[in-house]
Amino acid sequence: MHKLEYLWLDGCSPTQIRYKTKVVKDFGKKDAPIWGFDGSSTEQADGNNSDCVLKPVRYYPNPLEVNSSIVLCEVWNVNDTPHETNTRRLLEETIADLEGYYDEWVGFEQEYTLFDGSVPLGWPSNGEPAPQGDYYCGRNIGEKISREHLNACIEAGISICGTNAEVMLGQWEYQIGAGGSIHISDDLWVARWLLERICEKHDVSVSLHPKPIEGDWNGAGCHTNFSTNYMRDEGGYLEIINACEKLGEFTKEHLKEYGEDNEKRLTGEHETCSIDEFRYGVSDRGASIRIPWQVEVDGCGYLEDRRPSSNCDPYKVSARLIKTICK
């Protein structure tokens, strides 16, 4: 017997990942059947017409259980059309419009906060810990969970490339990519699901809220690294500058797709640019767009969009970046 964990994105705001398990007698690597679910319970259908369809699109070995696979699905309507919440299909269509002229890569820096009940992991129940300063890549709480998640992602074949403790106590980050935007966005959603399951095992929860704790504490983002083949080619620095200029012209359109409650994080403090401003600069973590110093030295590479929130939908973020930069 083999367990198939069907994963899909719901219609809630912010988008959440849902899952349920199907047990099958025999399973090849890519033959999971189409399945369905009650869309009226996930903000994707009315109760009087609630059936939604799950179409498998990616398969991963499940590192958390034996005889188990993860089946990432798109949501479709029963009339064989993509559901309006199917943002993966939106990204596919956006890439198709490029007609092969651009080879876009993305990479995501996913920040998250571990919670023990109603307070971040390691915090006192009736106050605050020592101020920020020692926790980033240092004495933080949650190393065991972070390491277990890293290993699980590697075993699942996810394109994870690193992890580190973040600025606030109980806050961590892992990095996915870089690579093609559909593949890397898929990987990020599955990595989020794995993290939730691992946290459950340790009796803690994980928050992707962009400002989980008010006050003089860093928020949580999902900084997005983006490049095209022209930006990565020798002499591509001018393409990066042109991309930054284009991004400044569509600030409102981007922020609309970059996650919920992001205004609580993008205040102009704690390594952010104000939500009401746009600027870019080399090695500037207070800018909307950071150009890494090594990119300036090399004269080619990528840019880092620091605006997406930790709860963003990577399919939406990728599609919006492509629409703006590759038009």
Residue 162 confidence (pLDDT): 98
Q: Pairing state of beta strands 289-291 and 17-24?
A: unpaired
Angle among Cα 176, 179, 184 to the nearest 5 degrees reads 50
Nearest Cα neighbor of 320 from 190, 209, 185 is 185
- Does this model's pTM top 0.85? yes
Token pair listed for 177: 């990519």
The answer as to CATH 3.30.590.10 being correct for domain 105-325 is yes
Reduce the DSSP state of residue 196 to 3 states and report it. Answer: helix
For 2-85, CATH gives 3.10.20.70
143's torsion region: left (phi>0), alpha (psi -120 to 50) or beta? Answer: alpha
| Beta carbons of 218 and 136 less than 8 angstroms apart | no
Distance CA 294, CA 12 (A): 39
The per-residue pLDDT string of the chain (327 residues; one tens digit each, 9 = 90 and over) reads 999 999 999 999 999 999 999 999 988 767 899 999 999 999 999 999 999 999 999 999 999 999 999 999 999 999 999 999 999 999 999 999 998 899 999 999 999 999 999 999 999 998 899 999 899 999 999 999 999 999 999 999 999 999 999 999 999 999 999 999 999 999 999 999 999 999 999 999 999 999 999 999 999 999 999 999 999 999 999 999 999 999 999 999 999 999 999 999 999 999 999 999 999 999 999 999 999 999 999 999 999 999 999 999 999 999 999 999 998
- pLDDT given at position 327: 84
> Which position has the token pair 């569509």?
250
Q: How many C-beta neighbours within 10 Å does residue 119 have?
A: 16
Residue 34 has a CB neighbour count (10 Å cut-off) of 10
Is-contact 124 116, C-beta < 8 A?
A: no
The reported pLDDT for the residue numbered 230 is 98
- Dist. CA 314–CA 61, nearest whole Å: 22
Nearest to 222 by CA among 131, 129, 112: 112
Here the tokens at position 45 are 């259908």
Residue 30's pLDDT is what?
73
Token pair of 296 as six digits: 């300036």
Q: How many CB atoms lie within 10 A of CB 46?
A: 8
Closest CA to 304 of 238, 229, 247, 260: 247
Q: Decide if 136 contacts 167 (C-beta within 8 A).
A: yes
* Residues in Cβ contact with 135 at an 8 Å cutoff, skipping those fewer than 6 apart: 165, 166, 167, 168, 169, 171
For position 316, what pLDDT does the model report?
98
Give the span between the Cα atoms of 235 and 212, in whole angstroms.
Answer: 41
Chain region(s) in the chain for CATH 3.30.590.10: 105-325
Parts of the chain belonging to CATH 3.10.20.70: 2-85
Q: Are 3 and 68 in contact (CB under 8 A)?
A: yes
Question: Which residues does residue 226 pair with via DSSP β-bridges, in sequence order?
Answer: 106, 303
